[in-house]
Structure 1
Amino acid sequence: MIYFLKFIYKTFILPPGSIILLLLILSFWGFKRKNKLSKFICAIAILLYIFSTYFIADSLMSSLEKKYTPKDNVSGDVIIMLGGGATLDTPNINGVGHLYGSASNRLLTVAQLYYKIKVPIIVSGGQVYDFTGNEADIAKRILINLNIPEEVIITEDKSLNTDENAEFTKELLDKYGFEKPILVTSAFHMHRALMGFQSVGVSLEPFPTDYYTNIKRSYSIYHFIPTADALHESSIALKEFVGILKEKILP
């Protein structure tokens, strides 16, 4: 019984399910009154439902995440971590500011890689908005708290997007003479990030992390229920597709 109530609650009361239901009701009401907008409203409801299901969200995300696989015997002379957002003033150990979920997963992978191959780290990411934290500075502080020596951490704290990540990180690669960089970023972001670095003449070893989807796909009724999390996943994937298209058209 509890699972049935949870199903009703998540599907019809929480958004986006409640919004989809409302749009369908408005569309039905419009059809009965021969309102020309009813078909448009119905189309919006259908699109919102489609992108709010894990069946579609995971399909979109998986197509991005499966392009690259981390190697067991990875080697290089520097690890590059791309930022992924941070809070500005939330309390943290030895300072303020936290990394967002994707950025935190990237940082954990960077720390694991460092203890495996013991090479310097470049953390790339600035303060994107007035209300967000400086990603490189916060990441550096956390890495130091994880007992990674401060002297092996290099910060690039000016970049505001992926293209600037590549541009400003290349300057550091040239400055320090690194020739075999390893790129750590979210699996869904890796393809666009590599395109950005390739556009400035940098070749990297991809080491994706922060996966949303499993390698072996399985489906249940849950994959067809509209949820805010699935809609968020779809929006991330669609943003990447738009970014990849932009890199191809405007390199």
Structure 2
Amino acid sequence: MFFIASKALWFFAAPSALLMLGALIGAAFSARRGGQLLALGCLAVLLVIGAAPTGALLIAPLENRFPAPPGSLPPPYGVVVLGGAIDDEITRARGQTTFDEGAERLTEAAILARRYPSARIVYSGGSNSLLGRPSSEAEDARRLLVAMGVDPQRITLESRSRNTDENARFTAAIVHPESDQTWLVVTSAYHMPRAMGLFRKSGFAAIADPVDYRTEGGRSDWRLNVSLPRGLALFDLAAHEWVGLLAYRLTGRIDSWFPGP
């Protein structure tokens, strides 16, 4: 129920979607002054959010929360890679692995598998479709990792999860983490605070390995956006994570408002 509610609510509550809806409603009532003001106001806010560095400034604290693991890190017991790196529908249609945003999750998994030859590799990702469409992402990820030289005997798949909460709980049910086992968690940097809170809650002695950065982490993040769609997408992404942290804390799924190192 939590999964369905969160997906349905966000479909209508994404900031850019709400503003576009407001602009359309205002346009529909443009014969009235209130409608004109609503349409112009929503369009102005869309323009500001898209052009200004609002999204970058919102997402930077998320990305900067967990540093990359040190090179001197002792070999971990295992590596958990969160899904979202493969577009399984296009992959099935074209017969060729097609990356979605977040492809660095899989390339990092291959690098870590080579760096830590005894570590267990777990790929966690199922379908997040509200229509219940099956997902082949985990199997696609296994085939790709094997093609990149990872021993298939080292790879464990968790293919039922639909969100990050289920990533953590379902993976824990498969691998049964123990307190003396160190696990690296690989996901996009902006997503890492929520993921770490959930994996810790599920019993993992987790260390973050953030990838797929969307900001540079310096003054350059204050630049205006050349691409308005990119600026809006970055703002929506940041808002989704901050709202997700709030919702997960209020429902007791994580133990702190902003999980950190």
* TM range, smaller chain: 0.7 to 0.9
Helix, strand or coil: the match of 2:187? strand
Further displaced range: 234-243 or 199-208: 199-208
Mapped pair 1:161 → 2:163: yes
In structure 2, relative to structure 1, the CA distance for the partners of 1:175 and 1:218 (3 Å cut) is closer
Contact 1:81 1:123 in 2 (8 A): yes
Aligned 1:67-216 pairs, distance under 5 A: 67-72=65-70, 73-75=72-74, 76-84=76-84, 86-90=86-90, 96-102=96-102, 104-118=103-117, 119-129=119-129, 133-174=135-176, 179-216=181-218
Counterparts of 2:134 and 2:237, CA distance in 1 = 19
Letter of the aligned partner of 2:228 in structure 1? T
In structure 2, relative to structure 1, the CA distance for the partners of 1:219 and 1:155 (3 Å cut) is closer
Counterparts of 1:191 and 1:68, CA distance in 2 = 7
Letter of the aligned partner of 1:100 in structure 2? D
Contact 1:85 1:99 in 2 (8 A): yes
After superposition, what is the alpha-carbon deviation per residue over 1:113-167, rounded to whole angstroms, capped at 9, x for unaligned?
Answer: 2211221200000133355742211111110010111011111111111000000
Counterparts of 1:99 and 1:151, CA distance in 2 = 24
Counterparts of 2:168 and 2:91, CA distance in 1 = 30
Helix, strand or coil: the match of 1:121? strand
The structure with the largest alpha-carbon Rg is 1
After superposition, what is the alpha-carbon deviation per residue over 1:183-212, rounded to whole angstroms, capped at 9, x for unaligned?
Answer: 000000000111212332333001100001
Helix, strand or coil: the match of 1:213? coil
Letter of the aligned partner of 1:43 in structure 2? G
Mapped pair 1:243 → 2:244: yes
Q: Which residue of 1 aligns with 2:36?
A: 38
After superposition, what is the alpha-carbon deviation per residue over 1:7-38, rounded to whole angstroms, capped at 9, x for unaligned?
Answer: xxxxxxxxx9xx99xx6xx88x96xx761223
Counterparts of 1:124 and 1:174, CA distance in 2 = 14
Q: Which residue of 1 aligns with 2:232?
A: 231
TM-score, normalised with respect to structure 2: 0.75
TM-score, normalised with respect to structure 1: 0.78
Contact 2:66 2:210 in 1 (8 A): yes
Q: CA deviation at 1:215?
A: 2.2
After superposition, what is the alpha-carbon deviation per residue over 1:77-133, rounded to whole angstroms, capped at 9, x for unaligned?
Answer: 1010000153334358x955534121x210111111221122120000013335574
Counterparts of 1:157 and 1:176, CA distance in 2 = 22
Counterparts of 2:108 and 2:73, CA distance in 1 = 13
5+ residue gaps, structure 2: 1-15, 253-261
Helix, strand or coil: the match of 2:128? coil
Counterparts of 1:199 and 1:151, CA distance in 2 = 28
5+ residue gaps, structure 1: 1-15
Q: CA deviation at 1:176?
A: 9.1
Matched length: 225
| Equivalent residue in structure 1 for 2:51, among 37, 50, 53 | 53
Which consecutive segments of 4 or more residues in structure 1 shift more than 6 A? 175-178
* Identity level (%): 24
Counterparts of 2:176 and 2:237, CA distance in 1 = 32
